[in-house]
Amino acid sequence: MTLLSTNPALEESLPTTTTDPDRLNTERDNDLCLNLPAWVEQLRDDWGEPLGVPEWDDVDSYRQKNGWQGRDLVHDHHAPVRVLEYFVQYGSGIITDNNTCISSKGGVDTTLTGICHFTPRAESHKGFCHGGSMTGLMDDVIGWCAFLTTGTCRPWTGFTVQVNTSLKKPIRVDSFLLVKAKITKVERRKVSVTAELIDPANNNSAVHALGEGLVVLNKGVLPEQQQQPATHKA
């Protein structure tokens, strides 16, 4: 399967690299067209709706006009480990202390699934990716999953205060893997999230990393007395 990008904000002077014996492509061409593993097409219909925000894609205009000084660490086309696409499935909603529904979707069981590419730029040990590329990815997916708590994507409405990551298996450079995060508990402004990084090509048996995180939402995002009636059951 081929993923086509619409990002025009790549430098014109990038070096030429060989990706095929019969043809030379610039690094820009490589970023615009990636051959994805078969599991992406086989599984993507089960991941929910695509999630996108302008600061991931429109790097030359939106980011500069809105105060960013650089490019996104995980979503930029030249990121060492890059999330190609996120998909969201929302939970069944949020109930307040007085049993009032403040959102018909979101909350516990909201799940964010991503296709990620561990590029050669993430290399540490010969042929393998740096452990920091895995932990950085976990931070990203946990944070963005928490931004979905209200049943809609509300970027930058909170901050990650804790990420615990267990690195289970090394990742070879140029690997495509699946990352998934799920909200397990919402307690007032605190959102607990679990995450995993797996290789679906091995029937999900290859677990490369597991993570747990805590995100604190900004005041006013949810009612202060809000609570979930239950937490996620594994």
Q: What is the pLDDT of residue 97?
A: 67
* Neighbouring-strand partners of residue 88: 49, 112
User: Which of these, 196, 108, 121, 118, lies nearest to 150 by C-alpha position?
Assistant: 108
Q: CA 229, CA 160: separation in Å to the nearest integer?
A: 23
23-217: which CATH architecture?
Roll (3.10)
What is the mean pLDDT for each group of 10 consecutive residues in the chain (234 residues)? 40 33 39 81 96 78 83 88 97 79 88 97 94 96 97 95 97 97 94 97 86 96 62 53
Q: What is the pLDDT of residue 57?
A: 72
pTM: 0.81
Torsion of CA 9, 10, 13, 16, to 10 degrees: -160
